[in-house]
Structure 1
């Protein structure tokens, strides 16, 4: 697993999970494109995602 980069987002910024209507907490850059997942779906797919991800970003809300 590579290093996770942290990206601070304004509270008003909303990145949607690609699997549900929830707010994305993690973004993954893959060879074929990009996926964003909420914490629930990140936990569900984390092993496969970390094996294939070129870059992993953790989204954090800043005030």
Structure 2
């Protein structure tokens, strides 16, 4: 099963990826962000290059699962 490219592979929230949303890469938040090496280290090899981190996880925040809507 392929990952959802609109979701962060660490926390499952929206990754706010411009490319996945169909807009130019240069419009994406990640083009001006510093990505935490520790966040990248948390990604399993199978998730690398499949979908983007969200801004919070990319900044090094501890990932938390999204709130249960039920």
TM-score (norm 2): 0.25
- Structure label with greater radius of gyration: 2
Bigger strand fraction? 1
TM-score normalised by L of structure 1: 0.26
